[in-house]
Amino acid sequence: MAFIDALHANNVHSSPGPMAGDLTALMPLALAFLSLDRDDASGYASLKSDLRRWAKEDPIDALFATVVGGGLAFYLAEHERNPACANPWDAILYMSTCLSVGYDNLFPVTSTGHALAALVQAFGPALSERAFDEPAAVVKAAADEAAAVNRAILARLEDIVRLLEAR
């Protein structure tokens, strides 16, 4: 929660260049990140594991949630300060472009908008690349079926070995 609180607290207009004032706005985010207990099952490691599992569960759902959910969050962060973000569709389109090259006539002007764009630009290409992968349940079922076939083959081979040894 500290990470989200820091995002909201620093939703200020920033200039395009890397100015010192822009970097100081990131200090609460960095401190919130550093305070996460990476060894605790309820902390950072668990968050990463849950995100990976969610993305593999159904890749198309993960991609859809990223674009639409990220777009709506981007709209909420930007619409009052960014005239180019006039409606949720503008923000959803922007988030969809962040999955690849990030080209659009809309650019974030708030810290939260920048953070959302950076997250989608960092992880979006990987989500896009796996969009048409089979859902995790289908992959598991195929692996279970292959394992069952392998067990049957192994059992048959063991029977053959026993018959040959008995001679």
Residue 112's CATH number: 1.10.287.70
- 127 & 144 share domain: no
Task: Read off the pLDDT of residues 129-141 as tens digits, 9 standing for 90 and up.
Answer: 888 888 888 889 9
Which of 49 and 88 is assigned the larger pLDDT? Answer: 88
Rg (CA), the chain: 24
Tell me how far apart the alpha carbons of residues 33 and 31 are, in angstroms, rounded to a whole number.
Answer: 5
- What pLDDT is stored for residue 22 in this prediction? 62
- 69 & 41 share domain: yes
- 126 & 138 share domain: no
- 113 & 124 share domain: yes
- 71 & 84 share domain: yes
Burial (0-12, 13-18, 19+ Cβ within 10 Å), 114: buried
Instruction: Kindly indicate the confidence band of residue 37, based on its pLDDT and cuts at 50, 70 and 90.
Output: low
Sign of the dihedral defined by the CA atoms of residues 95, 110, 15, 86, in that order = positive
Cα-based angle 28, 36, 58 (whole degrees, multiple of 5): 105
Range(s) of the domain holding residue 80: 2-133
- 125 & 55 share domain: yes
Number of H helices, E strands in the chain: 8, 0
- 143 & 84 share domain: no
